[in-house]
Amino acid sequence: MAKFGEILQLFMPLLRKNNLSILLVIFLGSLSWSLTMVKSGLIYPFGMGFWGPNGHDGVWHLALINSLSRGSWEMPIFSGENIRNYHIGFDLILAWIHKLTQIPAITLYFQILPTLLAVLVGWLTYRFVMLWRNSSREALWATFFVYFAGDFGWIVTLIRNKQIGGESLFWSQQSISTLINPPFAMSLVLLLSGAILILKLKNKFSIWHLALAIIFFGLLAEIKIYAGILALAGLLVIGIYQLIKSGKFTFLSIFGGSAVLSMLLFLPLNSGSQKMIVFQPFWFLETMMAVSDRFGWPRFYEALMNYKTGHIFLKLIPAYFIAFLIFLVGNMGTRVVGVYGIIKNKLWRKFSQIDLFLLVMASLGIILPMFFLQSGTPWNTIQFFYYSLFVMSILSGIWLAQQKTWLIILVVLLTLSTTIGTLSLSYLPMRPPAKISHQELAALKFLEKQPQGVVLTYPFDEYKAELAVNNPPRPLYLYASSAYVSAFSQHPTYLEDEINLNITGFDWRNRREKSMLPFDSLNQEEVQKFLADNKIHYLYLVLNQTPVFGQRFRLGEGQLGLTNIFENQEVVIYRVN
């Protein structure tokens, strides 16, 4: 009961009458963040809708959650292989909650957990800054920036296209998109909780707080490996600093305990993940200039490549420096006031342990993606930078709280543009980019009730997806290579979601070629052997996806040993006899 009372005391500052401002900020911030999620996964006249990247990323998490809740460690989109090279902590937690409460995983993922995480991030930010700075005004503005900080991409799109948008024009997502990456949002909750405990331990040692800090920081790697790496680096630095300054081992103890816990949780499923990290300096800077849906400055990119291939270093070094400044300032947006605050106040000369912890995280979050990429899906390492933006949001809010009213109003107006632009373009429109039709939902519901078995689907047709791009909402099979059959049928599939198979390092191309056998081959024995060897139980086919043969066979169903167990206007499902 004493511990419950201690936890309850943490909420008391928000319940006082003079804290209506922070309650309003948390309410508006949580509402704006939740709008990126809560509309997805619901039923509309056109079927089930998915806004933003939820048609791919959200569906992938649902496939994992449903698979884990069945007690399976099998890769749900690559039957016969176990999950590897992926931090499953978030999905494991949701699978456990789903089993415990019987709340549908899709409701937990899109409607319940996003709102809860949004509120927790806001409250913990306020609580952290209050403990750190002892200023309710600074805590208020830090919380505001965590929710609403934005980049300068909207200025570029306003000039070029006469519209406010461009959230990831400089590569990184912004505050408004925090919840579309739920493991990132959950990692912020753990990170802030750990930072609060660092402050408490600095003032008074407690074995309870020490143990909790080790748990929070130790769990980070399995929730979001990028957060785990940055946090452990920050803990190591402040641990050494504390040892030199006062001879104490408190923070080194947290580092050691967290590192051991991180390895115990992360390595069993990710022992080969280090091979997926490649050294490729300045890829983000080069592609930011080269790619049209990023900043896109072709002449600058051509000059950069000419200097690089010609080894003209006197021009190459300044060119990369300019590209880096565009990347940094463009992504930081209004957070540049936080950078200015660090320089003006010479924070590095009079830092405390928590200052040092935050600055190490922010600095490494900028440096690491400048030099390292992930093989298969190189842009994944930009997620290191998300934590730099988060730290700078807090520092920017602290600086802004000390300024005059007119400057506060100006910065607020500038920083809200990203949130307004992203919501209006991507999440507020009534029609989403992707859907699952009512006919497909009925088929998937039927398949869910069948005995467990591997499902073969027709491979994703990128060409037909391109043809359908201007006709939203597109069915998921024409939107992206996704895990939707596994996610909604709750069966493992032979091959789905080539994007995440790329990220996790599976040899999906060889399997894709083999998966075409039932559709292309006239050799009856060859097809039957393929189905038997790969333990295929069901074939899920969309009738109108591909021309000529469609998702049909060149051999008869009887020749292949198949039984039609479901058919409507859009889908046919066969069982392998």
pLDDT in tens, the chain (577 residues): 445 455 545 545 554 545 788 999 999 999 999 999 999 999 999 999 999 999 999 999 999 999 999 988 999 999 989 998 888 899 999 999 999 999 999 999 999 999 999 999 999 999 999 999 999 999 999 999 999 999 999 999 999 888 888 888 999 999 999 999 999 999 999 999 999 999 999 888 889 999 999 999 999 999 999 999 999 999 999 999 989 988 888 999 999 999 999 999 888 877 666 667 888 999 999 999 998 889 999 999 999 999 999 989 899 999 999 999 999 999 999 998 877 766 666 555 566 889 899 999 999 999 999 999 887 677 889 999 999 999 999 999 998 888 888 888 899 999 999 999 999 888 988 899 999 999 999 999 999 999 999 999 999 988 888 887 778 899 999 998 999 999 999 999 999 999 999 888 888 999 999 988 888 888 888 888 889 999 999 999 998 654 433 466 777 777 788 889 998 989 999 999 8
Q: Which residues contact 51 (CB under 8 A, 6 or more apart)?
A: 36, 39, 40, 426, 427, 429, 432, 433
Place of tokens 């996806």: 545
Place of tokens 């001879």: 247
Residue 450 in tokens: 């069948």
* 531 neighbors 562 (Cβ within 8 angstroms): no
Residue 561, pLDDT score: 83
Residue 142 in tokens: 């830090």
DSSP assignment of 545-572 equals SSSTT-S--SS-HHHHTEEEEEE-SSEE
Q: Any bridge partners for residue 43, and if so which?
A: 48
- Omega of the bond prior to 475 within 30 degrees of 0, cis? no
Residue 42 in tokens: 């619901």
Domains in the chain with CATH codes: 2-34+84-427 (no CATH), 434-576 (3.40.50)
Q: Which long-range contacts (CB under 8 A, 24 or more apart) does 262-267 make?
A: 262/217, 262/218, 262/220, 262/221, 262/222, 262/228, 262/232, 263/221, 265/89, 265/218, 265/219, 265/221, 265/222, 266/87, 266/221, 266/222, 266/225, 266/228
d(CA 316, CA 540): 53
Q: Which residues contact 466 (CB under 8 A, 6 or more apart)?
A: none
List Cα–Cα distances, 266 to 87, 218, 229, in angstroms: 7, 10, 12
d(CA 310, CA 234): 39
Residue 566 in tokens: 């479901």
List Cα–Cα distances, 46 to 43, 249, 327, 543, in angstroms: 8, 60, 40, 18
Element (H, E) at 575: strand 571-576
Question: How far is CA 215 from its chain centroid?
Answer: 22
